[in-house]
């Protein structure tokens, strides 16, 4: 169904928009921590910015004030083109001034300006001012979905966003017939999205190929929490996946029990056990001891009690569990539950360092190790 390609396309677009709106805008990464700049923006006072010695900081400050005050004239004081374009874009969106987008020189700033105003105004015609075809498609698709207008989808040139547009509008309107505008796997994906969005398994019946119908049923089961629906899935592996999805969504161990594959069943048990903080369920994990120990250790730390650690037989894993509880509680006395003196002293050392409590080192038996513990506090370094 080419799901990965669609995912990659969407991620690429989001990253592109992120870089355009954030990094390329000339904004300092930590400007939000700049007290003086924040004061200028809050008070909409450009005089505070103009007193700054660093030119780049001053211009970023002016851009922030311009957007807050919705005053594009302040952008004229900015020499750096990136910061100036970002300033114009910010004011354009904040003040809903379309003409300012046209004054931006670089497409990397101009496109987001038109995109944001198009979305804000719910005007798909503005999307056509964008130079990047993918961004145009995403812009129109978002507006089409919001309006539930299938006709807007037909104007999108980029295949992915046109198909995505039809799918979103179909799901919003709960109209499977819109999917008929699509071909092959895109049509199937459209049915699956509607079924999942509407939580309606009957939509899955429109899919003729059984493997995709099974996926559809699994997705609906996951959002409805209905493990009985998984029984309708024909393929054994997909049926197991269905039970896993439902089990890890509803956090019901009984659903995990229905999974035939032991590895997937125990993976399901682990998720449910950790969520429910049920150490008894962890012990149902028998194939992979490491997963069982991880399950018990996680619950012990979450509950801040060493009792689940008692079920861990591996000495190293048992130490990690007890130390984890001792550490989270900042309670060195919990280390006394460790049988091996060496591991016990290591636990005391690490709790002492974590809590920066020298008195804990007094419980270390070996004199040399006690001195090492006291010295370790100075360097704040844990023992592996």
pLDDT of residue 339: 80
pLDDT of residue 379: 61
Cα–Cα dist 11/104, whole Å? 26
Cα–Cα dist 6/28, whole Å? 32
What angle (nearest 5°) sits at the alpha carbon of residue 53, between those of residues 47 and 55? 90
pLDDT of residue 325: 92
Whether residue 16 has pLDDT greater than 50: no
CA-based nearest residue to 135, from 152, 120, 118, 154: 118
Cα distances from 167 to residues 83, 89, 101, 208, 308, in angstroms, run 38, 31, 31, 18, 48
Higher pLDDT, 365 or 303: 303
Residues 6 or more apart whose Cβ sits within 8 Å of residue 195: 201, 202, 203, 204, 216, 219, 220
Residues 6 or more apart whose Cβ sits within 8 Å of residue 34: 28, 57, 61
SS3 of 365, please? coil
| Contact (Cβ atoms closer than 8 angstroms) between residue 81 and residue 89 | no
pLDDT of residue 381: 64
Residues 6 or more apart whose Cβ sits within 8 Å of residue 151: none
Cα–Cα dist 37/50, whole Å? 11
Higher pLDDT, 112 or 328: 112
CA-based nearest residue to 61, from 48, 72, 71, 70: 48
pLDDT of residue 294: 95
pLDDT of residue 347: 80
SS3 of 29, please? coil
User: What is the number of alpha carbons within 13 Å of residue 262 lying toward its C-beta?
Assistant: 5
Cα distances from 182 to residues 9, 170, 175, 177, 206, in angstroms, run 18, 11, 13, 10, 14
> Can you give the three-state secondary structure of 303-362, one letter per residue?
HCCCHHHHHCCCHHHHHHHHHHHHHHHCCHHHHHHCCCHHHHHHHHHHHHHHHCCHHHHH
CA-based nearest residue to 20, from 114, 128, 150: 114
Tally Cβ neighbours within 10 Å of residue 250: 16
pLDDT in tens, 301-317: 999 999 999 999 898 89
Alpha carbon 86 to its chain centroid, in Å, reads: 27
Burial of 47 (0-12, 13-18, 19+ CB in 10 A): exposed
pLDDT of residue 333: 85
The rounded mean pLDDT for the chain is: 87
Whether residue 258 has pLDDT greater than 60: yes
Tally Cβ neighbours within 10 Å of residue 335: 27
| Torsion angle in degrees (nearest 10) through CA of 51, 55, 61, 64 | 140
> Which segment of 2-11, 107-116, 275-284 scores lowest on mean pLDDT?
2-11
Composition of the chain by helix, strand, coil, percent to 5: 75, 0, 25
Cα–Cα dist 215/237, whole Å? 11
- The model scores a pTM over 0.85: no
Using a pLDDT cut of 70, give the percent of the chain over it: 87
CA-based nearest residue to 384, from 350, 342, 360: 350
pLDDT of residue 360: 73
pLDDT of residue 361: 72
Cα–Cα dist 155/161, whole Å? 10
Alpha carbon 303 to its chain centroid, in Å, reads: 25
CA-based nearest residue to 209, from 181, 234, 236: 234
pLDDT in tens, 117-170: 999 999 999 999 999 989 999 999 999 999 999 999 999 998 999 999 999 999
């Amino acid at each position: 169904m080419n799901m990965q390609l669609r995912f990659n396309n969407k991620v690429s677009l989001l990253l592109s928009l992120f870089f355009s709106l954030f990094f390329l805008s000339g904004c300092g990464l930590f400007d939000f921590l700049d007290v003086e700049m924040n004061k200028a923006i809050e008070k909409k006072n450009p005089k505070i910015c103009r007193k700054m010695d660093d030119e780049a900081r001053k211009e970023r400050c002016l851009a922030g004030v311009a957007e807050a005050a919705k005053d594009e004239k302040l952008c004229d004081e900015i020499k750096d083109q990136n910061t100036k374009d970002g300033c114009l874009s910010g004011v354009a969106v904040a003040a809903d001034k379309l003409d300012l987008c046209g004054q931006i020189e670089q497409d990397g700033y101009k496109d987001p300006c038109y995109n944001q105003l198009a979305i804000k105004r719910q005007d798909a015609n503005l999307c056509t001012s964008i130079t990047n075809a993918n961004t145009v498609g995403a812009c129109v698709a978002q507006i089409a979905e919001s309006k539930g207008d299938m006709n807007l989808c037909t104007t999108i040139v980029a295949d992915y966003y046109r198909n995505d547009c039809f799918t979103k509008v179909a799901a919003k309107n709960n109209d499977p017939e819109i999917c008929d505008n699509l071909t092959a796997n895109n049509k199937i994906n459209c049915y699956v999205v509607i079924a999942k969005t509407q939580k309606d398994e009957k939509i899955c019946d429109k899919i003729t190929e059984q493997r995709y119908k099974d996926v559809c049923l699994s997705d609906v089961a996951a959002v409805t929490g209905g493990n009985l629906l998984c029984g309708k899935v024909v393929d054994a592996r997909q049926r197991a996946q269905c039970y896993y999805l439902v089990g890890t969504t509803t956090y019901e161990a009984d659903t995990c029990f229905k999974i035939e594959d032991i590895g997937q069943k125990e993976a399901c048990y682990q998720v449910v056990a950790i969520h429910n903080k049920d150490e008894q369920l962890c012990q149902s994990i028998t194939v992979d001891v490491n997963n069982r120990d991880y399950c018990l250790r996680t619950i012990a730390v979450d509950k801040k009690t060493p009792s689940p650690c008692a079920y861990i037989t591996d000495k190293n894993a048992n130490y990690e569990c007890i130390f984890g509880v001792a550490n989270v509680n900042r309670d060195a006395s919990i280390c006394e539950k460790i049988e091996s003196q060496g591991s016990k002293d290591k636990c005391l050392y690490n709790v002492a360092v974590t809590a920066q409590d020298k008195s804990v080192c007094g419980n270390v038996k070996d004199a040399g190790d006690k001195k090492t513990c006291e010295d370790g506090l100075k360097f704040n370094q844990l023992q592996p």
